[in-house]
Amino acid sequence: MTTDSARLVLAATPIGDVRDASPRLLEALRSAPVVAAEDTRRLRGLCDRLGIATTGRVVSYHEHNEATRTTDLLAELTDGQDVLLVTDAGMPSVSDPGYRLVTEAVRHGIRVTCVPGPSAVLMALAVSGLPVDRFCFEGFLPRKAGERERAVAALAAEPRTMVFFEAPHRLAAMLQALGKGLGADRPAAVCRELTKTYEEVRRGGLAELAEWASGGVRGEVTVVVSGAVPTTAGDVDLAAAVRGIQQRVTDGERLKDVCREVSAATGLSTKQLYDAVLAAR
């Protein structure tokens, strides 16, 4: 059962251009009795640029205090106080704090609603030039190289367009890992500083984009990658697959692991690939 006594309101904030703030966001910030912000200083700066002021109590809600602060905010909600949740940019809970509070509010029968607004995920997808009929959001890939490569390998056969976030200083390594696991020529787009003065969309194959990013990239980055083209065993060049496996093994990967990944991506059996590699030695 859902109670009507209070609401948890998730509000999307501008991802760059402050003019993207909706009238509903301005009203929500002005009137909310409690505002939970990822960074209270950034919230004050946003309100200053919008020419408004909050009238309710402002508290911090970020990854370092999320566990304890969720309990406090839940108490506010059960006492009948609306809580407005905002993050530094975009929609709360999408690679930002918020999910924990939403799940607890739902579990306690508290209404959860949203003030929609700017989204780096949807904007990057729309301007990428890649298929938009089906897509998935993968957030940030793991930072450690081994974990990142395994995560990419699991996406090798993903047919949907994929959207990622990445820090600018890790972008080149991320694109290199994607190119290695998905194919150097897999179409992709790097969307940088969306809605800001120096907005840039760079399109090309993953290897080409990795080379470009190796020179250094600044700003907020969203990466869109085309999904895998469905294949059948009859469509796949076994010799080319074997050459690719041999190169990855030479680079230090385990033969069995690579054969399993290539099998998932091509439809060729793992045993067929394994035997073909051994025969080619």
Query: 243, 209, 239, 245: which is closest to 226 by C-alpha?
Result: 209
Which band of pLDDT confidence, cut at 50, 70 and 90, is reported for residue 230? low
Cα angle 173-96-211, degrees, rounded to a multiple of 5:
15
- At residue 37, the 3 state secondary structure works out as strand
pLDDT > 60? residue 234:
no
Q: Which of 41-45, 123-127, 179-183, 199-203 has the lowest mean pLDDT?
A: 179-183
Q: How confident is the model at residue 2 (pLDDT cuts 50, 70, 90)?
A: very low
Helix, strand, or coil (residue 87): coil
Rounded to whole angstroms, what are the CA distances from 225 to 96, 122, 205, 228? 22, 13, 9, 9
Whether the pLDDT of residue 178 is over 80: the answer is yes
**pLDDT given at position 236:** 62
Tokens of 2: 């859902």
For the entire predicted model, the pTM comes to 0.80
* pLDDT tier for residue 233 given thresholds of 50, 70 and 90: low
Look at residue 250 and tell me whether its pLDDT is greater than 50: yes
Q: Are strands 187-192 and 200-205 parallel, antiparallel or unpaired?
A: antiparallel
**List of residues 6+ apart from 123 with CB closer than 8 A:** 15, 191, 194, 195, 222
